[in-house]
Amino acid sequence: MEVVILPGIRQIGRLAADAIEELLRRKPDAVLGLATGSSPLPVYDELARRHRDEGLDFSKAHAFALDEYVGLEAGHPESYREVIRREFTDRVNIDPANVHSPDGAAEDIPAACQAYEDAIRERGGVDLQLLGVGTDGHIGFNEPGSSLASRTRIKTLIEQTRKDNARFFDSVDDVPHHVVTQGLGTIMDARHVVLIATGAQKAQAVRDLVEGPVAAICAASVLQFHPHASILIDEAAASSLKLAAYYRHAFGNKPEWQGL
Protein backbone atom coordinates (compact mmCIF):
# COMPACT_ATOMS: atom_id res chain seq x y z
CA MET A 1 0.00 0.00 0.00
CA GLU A 2 1.30 3.42 -0.98
CA VAL A 3 -0.04 6.47 0.86
CA VAL A 4 0.29 9.76 -1.02
CA ILE A 5 -0.49 13.00 0.84
CA LEU A 6 -1.15 15.94 -1.47
CA PRO A 7 -2.13 19.58 -0.85
CA GLY A 8 -5.65 19.31 -2.23
CA ILE A 9 -8.21 17.63 -4.42
CA ARG A 10 -6.94 19.16 -7.68
CA GLN A 11 -3.53 17.58 -7.22
CA ILE A 12 -5.18 14.29 -6.29
CA GLY A 13 -7.36 14.41 -9.39
CA ARG A 14 -4.36 15.04 -11.64
CA LEU A 15 -2.29 12.23 -10.14
CA ALA A 16 -5.12 9.70 -10.46
CA ALA A 17 -5.77 10.87 -14.02
CA ASP A 18 -2.06 10.40 -14.78
CA ALA A 19 -2.33 6.74 -13.76
CA ILE A 20 -5.42 6.22 -15.92
CA GLU A 21 -3.88 8.00 -18.90
CA GLU A 22 -0.70 5.92 -18.66
CA LEU A 23 -2.82 2.76 -18.52
CA LEU A 24 -4.89 3.73 -21.57
CA ARG A 25 -1.83 4.62 -23.64
CA ARG A 26 -0.25 1.29 -22.75
CA LYS A 27 -3.47 -0.71 -23.02
CA PRO A 28 -6.19 1.08 -25.05
CA ASP A 29 -8.79 -1.59 -24.25
CA ALA A 30 -8.21 -1.32 -20.50
CA VAL A 31 -11.01 -2.10 -18.05
CA LEU A 32 -11.74 0.74 -15.64
CA GLY A 33 -13.63 0.39 -12.38
CA LEU A 34 -15.77 3.48 -11.77
CA ALA A 35 -16.93 4.82 -8.41
CA THR A 36 -19.57 7.44 -7.62
CA GLY A 37 -19.80 9.98 -4.82
CA SER A 38 -17.84 13.21 -4.54
CA SER A 39 -14.34 11.69 -4.24
CA PRO A 40 -13.78 10.69 -7.89
CA LEU A 41 -15.35 13.82 -9.44
CA PRO A 42 -12.03 15.73 -9.81
CA VAL A 43 -10.58 12.67 -11.56
CA TYR A 44 -13.49 12.57 -14.00
CA ASP A 45 -13.20 16.31 -14.60
CA GLU A 46 -9.50 16.00 -15.39
CA LEU A 47 -9.99 12.98 -17.67
CA ALA A 48 -12.75 14.80 -19.54
CA ARG A 49 -10.45 17.81 -19.97
CA ARG A 50 -7.64 15.63 -21.29
CA HIS A 51 -10.05 13.99 -23.73
CA ARG A 52 -11.33 17.37 -24.92
CA ASP A 53 -8.03 19.25 -25.04
CA GLU A 54 -5.43 16.54 -25.59
CA GLY A 55 -7.31 13.77 -27.36
CA LEU A 56 -7.09 11.14 -24.62
CA ASP A 57 -8.87 8.19 -26.21
CA PHE A 58 -11.41 5.98 -24.41
CA SER A 59 -12.92 4.43 -27.55
CA LYS A 60 -11.68 0.90 -26.85
CA ALA A 61 -11.97 1.01 -23.05
CA HIS A 62 -14.53 -0.81 -20.94
CA ALA A 63 -15.89 0.29 -17.57
CA PHE A 64 -17.66 -1.40 -14.68
CA ALA A 65 -19.46 0.53 -11.93
CA LEU A 66 -18.99 -0.43 -8.31
CA ASP A 67 -22.58 -0.43 -7.19
CA GLU A 68 -26.21 0.53 -7.76
CA TYR A 69 -29.24 1.31 -5.65
CA VAL A 70 -32.05 -1.21 -5.47
CA GLY A 71 -35.54 0.14 -6.15
CA LEU A 72 -34.88 3.30 -8.15
CA GLU A 73 -36.71 3.45 -11.46
CA ALA A 74 -34.72 3.34 -14.70
CA GLY A 75 -33.29 6.75 -15.52
CA HIS A 76 -33.62 8.11 -11.97
CA PRO A 77 -31.11 11.00 -11.78
CA GLU A 78 -29.47 9.58 -8.64
CA SER A 79 -29.13 6.02 -9.90
CA TYR A 80 -25.43 5.36 -10.14
CA ARG A 81 -25.66 4.42 -13.79
CA GLU A 82 -27.05 7.90 -14.49
CA VAL A 83 -24.50 9.61 -12.23
CA ILE A 84 -21.59 7.93 -13.99
CA ARG A 85 -23.07 8.75 -17.39
CA ARG A 86 -23.60 12.38 -16.43
CA GLU A 87 -20.32 12.95 -14.60
CA PHE A 88 -17.98 10.97 -16.82
CA THR A 89 -18.89 8.65 -19.67
CA ASP A 90 -20.94 11.20 -21.65
CA ARG A 91 -17.95 13.55 -21.48
CA VAL A 92 -15.48 11.20 -23.17
CA ASN A 93 -15.64 8.93 -26.22
CA ILE A 94 -16.20 5.61 -24.48
CA ASP A 95 -18.76 3.39 -26.21
CA PRO A 96 -21.94 3.34 -24.07
CA ALA A 97 -22.21 -0.40 -24.79
CA ASN A 98 -18.90 -0.84 -22.98
CA VAL A 99 -20.15 0.77 -19.75
CA HIS A 100 -21.62 -1.76 -17.33
CA SER A 101 -23.33 -1.44 -13.97
CA PRO A 102 -25.02 -3.83 -11.52
CA ASP A 103 -28.73 -4.37 -12.10
CA GLY A 104 -30.57 -3.04 -9.07
CA ALA A 105 -33.93 -3.58 -10.78
CA ALA A 106 -33.50 -7.27 -11.60
CA GLU A 107 -36.26 -9.66 -10.56
CA ASP A 108 -33.60 -12.22 -9.59
CA ILE A 109 -30.95 -10.20 -7.75
CA PRO A 110 -28.61 -13.14 -6.94
CA ALA A 111 -28.60 -14.23 -10.59
CA ALA A 112 -27.92 -10.64 -11.71
CA CYS A 113 -25.03 -10.41 -9.26
CA GLN A 114 -23.48 -13.60 -10.60
CA ALA A 115 -23.95 -12.34 -14.15
CA TYR A 116 -22.08 -9.16 -13.21
CA GLU A 117 -19.20 -11.15 -11.75
CA ASP A 118 -19.11 -13.22 -14.94
CA ALA A 119 -19.08 -10.12 -17.13
CA ILE A 120 -16.07 -8.67 -15.28
CA ARG A 121 -14.25 -11.98 -15.55
CA GLU A 122 -15.02 -12.32 -19.26
CA ARG A 123 -13.42 -8.90 -19.90
CA GLY A 124 -10.25 -10.08 -18.18
CA GLY A 125 -10.83 -8.31 -14.87
CA VAL A 126 -10.52 -4.68 -13.83
CA ASP A 127 -7.19 -3.03 -14.58
CA LEU A 128 -7.68 0.06 -12.40
CA GLN A 129 -10.40 0.51 -9.82
CA LEU A 130 -11.28 3.97 -8.47
CA LEU A 131 -12.62 4.06 -4.92
CA GLY A 132 -13.82 6.51 -2.34
CA VAL A 133 -14.23 5.59 1.31
CA GLY A 134 -17.13 6.20 3.66
CA THR A 135 -16.81 7.80 7.07
CA ASP A 136 -17.29 4.30 8.54
CA GLY A 137 -14.61 2.79 6.29
CA HIS A 138 -16.87 1.24 3.67
CA ILE A 139 -15.71 0.88 0.06
CA GLY A 140 -18.30 0.28 -2.61
CA PHE A 141 -21.24 -0.38 -0.33
CA ASN A 142 -19.42 -2.98 1.74
CA GLU A 143 -20.62 -1.75 5.11
CA PRO A 144 -18.90 -2.57 8.44
CA GLY A 145 -19.13 -6.30 9.06
CA SER A 146 -18.89 -7.25 5.38
CA SER A 147 -17.05 -10.44 4.56
CA LEU A 148 -13.52 -9.70 3.41
CA ALA A 149 -13.97 -12.35 0.71
CA SER A 150 -17.42 -11.17 -0.47
CA ARG A 151 -18.50 -11.01 -4.11
CA THR A 152 -21.15 -8.87 -5.85
CA ARG A 153 -24.36 -9.10 -3.80
CA ILE A 154 -27.24 -7.16 -2.25
CA LYS A 155 -26.48 -5.20 0.93
CA THR A 156 -28.57 -3.27 3.44
CA LEU A 157 -27.26 0.24 4.06
CA ILE A 158 -26.60 1.36 7.61
CA GLU A 159 -28.34 4.56 8.66
CA GLN A 160 -25.12 6.59 8.69
CA THR A 161 -24.54 5.82 5.01
CA ARG A 162 -28.12 6.77 4.16
CA LYS A 163 -27.66 10.06 6.06
CA ASP A 164 -24.34 10.70 4.27
CA ASN A 165 -25.99 10.12 0.89
CA ALA A 166 -29.11 12.17 1.66
CA ARG A 167 -27.36 15.24 0.21
CA PHE A 168 -27.98 13.76 -3.25
CA PHE A 169 -31.74 13.34 -2.60
CA ASP A 170 -34.56 15.56 -1.43
CA SER A 171 -34.42 13.93 2.01
CA VAL A 172 -33.01 10.91 3.79
CA ASP A 173 -36.40 9.24 3.39
CA ASP A 174 -35.77 9.07 -0.37
CA VAL A 175 -32.47 7.19 -0.01
CA PRO A 176 -33.00 3.48 -0.74
CA HIS A 177 -32.29 0.96 2.01
CA HIS A 178 -30.66 -1.59 -0.30
CA VAL A 179 -27.93 -1.64 -2.93
CA VAL A 180 -26.16 -4.11 -5.18
CA THR A 181 -22.41 -3.77 -4.71
CA GLN A 182 -19.23 -5.41 -5.82
CA GLY A 183 -17.84 -7.34 -2.89
CA LEU A 184 -14.50 -6.86 -1.20
CA GLY A 185 -13.20 -9.98 -2.90
CA THR A 186 -14.30 -8.57 -6.26
CA ILE A 187 -12.56 -5.25 -5.56
CA MET A 188 -9.39 -7.05 -4.46
CA ASP A 189 -9.22 -8.77 -7.87
CA ALA A 190 -8.52 -5.41 -9.58
CA ARG A 191 -4.90 -5.13 -10.63
CA HIS A 192 -4.53 -1.56 -9.34
CA VAL A 193 -6.74 0.16 -6.77
CA VAL A 194 -6.73 3.95 -6.40
CA LEU A 195 -8.61 5.18 -3.33
CA ILE A 196 -9.30 8.89 -2.82
CA ALA A 197 -10.22 10.52 0.49
CA THR A 198 -10.37 14.21 1.39
CA GLY A 199 -11.48 16.24 4.37
CA ALA A 200 -11.21 15.92 8.13
CA GLN A 201 -14.40 13.86 8.26
CA LYS A 202 -12.49 11.02 6.54
CA ALA A 203 -9.44 11.15 8.85
CA GLN A 204 -10.61 8.36 11.16
CA ALA A 205 -11.51 6.07 8.27
CA VAL A 206 -8.16 6.75 6.60
CA ARG A 207 -6.27 5.96 9.79
CA ASP A 208 -8.22 2.74 10.27
CA LEU A 209 -7.79 1.54 6.69
CA VAL A 210 -4.07 2.41 6.49
CA GLU A 211 -2.72 1.84 9.98
CA GLY A 212 -5.39 -0.10 11.83
CA PRO A 213 -5.84 -3.85 11.96
CA VAL A 214 -7.37 -5.63 9.00
CA ALA A 215 -10.90 -6.22 10.22
CA ALA A 216 -14.45 -6.31 8.92
CA ILE A 217 -15.38 -3.33 11.11
CA CYS A 218 -13.39 -1.22 8.60
CA ALA A 219 -14.03 -2.87 5.26
CA ALA A 220 -11.43 -0.74 3.47
CA SER A 221 -8.66 -2.17 5.67
CA VAL A 222 -8.66 -5.26 3.42
CA LEU A 223 -6.68 -3.10 0.97
CA GLN A 224 -3.64 -3.64 3.20
CA PHE A 225 -3.49 -7.06 1.51
CA HIS A 226 -3.66 -5.63 -2.02
CA PRO A 227 -0.40 -5.82 -4.02
CA HIS A 228 -0.95 -2.44 -5.73
CA ALA A 229 -3.14 -0.05 -3.73
CA SER A 230 -2.60 3.71 -3.99
CA ILE A 231 -4.22 5.81 -1.24
CA LEU A 232 -4.46 9.46 -2.35
CA ILE A 233 -5.43 11.86 0.45
CA ASP A 234 -5.27 15.53 1.35
CA GLU A 235 -3.73 17.01 4.48
CA ALA A 236 -7.01 17.00 6.40
CA ALA A 237 -7.69 13.33 5.69
CA ALA A 238 -4.10 12.54 6.71
CA SER A 239 -4.36 14.38 10.03
CA SER A 240 -4.71 11.25 12.20
CA LEU A 241 -1.96 9.16 10.59
CA LYS A 242 0.98 8.30 12.86
CA LEU A 243 3.34 7.74 9.93
CA ALA A 244 2.34 10.77 7.86
CA ALA A 245 5.90 12.15 7.83
CA TYR A 246 7.20 8.84 6.49
CA TYR A 247 4.56 8.71 3.75
CA ARG A 248 5.55 12.21 2.63
CA HIS A 249 9.24 11.27 2.64
CA ALA A 250 8.66 8.05 0.73
CA PHE A 251 6.62 9.73 -2.01
CA GLY A 252 8.99 12.70 -2.23
CA ASN A 253 11.93 10.37 -2.82
CA LYS A 254 10.19 7.87 -5.06
CA PRO A 255 11.99 6.92 -8.29
CA GLU A 256 10.22 8.59 -11.22
CA TRP A 257 10.10 5.34 -13.20
CA GLN A 258 7.84 3.74 -10.60
CA GLY A 259 4.80 5.87 -11.43
CA LEU A 260 1.75 5.56 -9.20
Catalytic machinery residues? 67, 136, 138, 143
The three-state DSSP-derived secondary structure of the chain is: CEEEEECCHHHHHHHHHHHHHHHHHHCCCCEEEECCCCCCHHHHHHHHHHHHHHCCCCCCCEEEECEEECCCCCCCCCCHHHHHHHHCHHHCCCCHHHEECCCCCCCCHHHHHHHHHHHHHHCCCCCEEEECCCCCCCECCECCCCCCCCCCEEEECCHHHHHHHHHHCCCHHHCCCEEEECCHHHHHCCCEEEEEECCHHHHHHHHHHHHCCCECCEHHHHHHHCCCEEEEEECCCCCCCCCHHHHHHHHHCCCHHHCC
Identity of residue 17: A
CA 170 to chain centre: 24
Q: Are 62 and 24 in contact (CB under 8 A)?
A: no
